[in-house]
Amino acid sequence: MRILSLNTWGGRLHEPLVDYLARVDADVLCLQEVVRTPDRPAGWLAYRDIDVELPQRAALFEEIAALLPDHQAFFAPTARGLLHDGDTPVFSEFGLATFVRKSLAVIGQATDFVLGAFSPDGWGPHPRARNAQCLRLFDYDDGFAITVAQMHGLRDLAGKGDTPARDAQTRALMALIRRIWPGDERLVVCGDFNILPDSAMFPALAELGLTDLVVPRGHTDTRTSYYMKPGRYADYMLVTPDVEVISFDAVAQPEVSDHRALLLEMR
């Protein structure tokens, strides 16, 4: 089984992104920063904040779903806010998307907020609400069940250090996982956690038997050349001991976002 985790950056690098997702042949794709605009079938919108403007692919979720006809698509918005088509405001959703190959049975699902609550009429103040998706799957070919969870961790303008909000987010994520993971089978947890390798999140997740694949395997960077700030860690993938890791990489090339894709092959 191949599991991919990637912050898509709102599809800003659209052409290389969709080419990579079409070619990577992942069974499960856990994607963060995905845009969905139901009344816009394609094209670009702009996200505007105080001192930043970022292009966003208006129908990124639908475009990826069309790329992957052999996958089921699950979208979980954190908020609906305004993007812009020139001077025209357009409501769009922003959140997580998980794509699961249809040959895998989805035998359990849990999606919920781990920080804050859904905002239907704006992006909200920082730190903005965050959610997580958790799916329990059965692989008929190899005869095992596996739970895969993803989260986009809160962005704190003060940095990536431990805070009470991050501690609460970790506890909420663990409670969400425990809703459907029985505790005696494979578990993979991944995403853009927005934390550093010394975060208290890792000892907490170790209570579920999870260990990180990024830092212990010598990866010193989960960002690409499009990210200009210091602090090159953000994305992680953790597994329980019953996951046999065939290969794992924080993919340096191609660059399809300001984050690297994390790609696990396991059984």
Q: What range does the domain containing 113 cover? A: 2-266
SS3 71: strand
Question: Following DSSP, what letter does each residue of 230-264 receive, concatenated?
Answer: S----EEEEE-TTS-EEEEEEE-SS--SSB-EEEE
Strand ranges in the chain using DSSP code E only, listed in sequence order: 2-7, 28-36, 44-48, 53-57, 71-85, 88-101, 104-115, 130-139, 144-152, 186-192, 211-212, 235-239, 245-251, 261-266
216: CATH: 3.60.10.10
- Report the alpha-carbon distance of residue 221 to residue 19 in Å, rounded: 23
Closest CA to 257 of 55, 8, 30: 8
Could you tell me which residues are beta bridge partners of residue 211?
239
Domain count within the chain: 1
pLDDT in tens, the chain (267 residues): 999 999 999 999 999 999 999 999 999 999 999 999 998 888 999 999 878 899 999 999 999 999 999 999 999 999 999 999 999 999 999 999 999 999 999 999 999 999 999 999 999 888 899 999 999 999 999 999 999 999 999 999 889 999 999 999 999 999 999 999 999 999 999 999 999 999 999 999 999 999 999 999 999 999 999 999 888 999 999 999 999 999 999 999 999 999 999 999 999
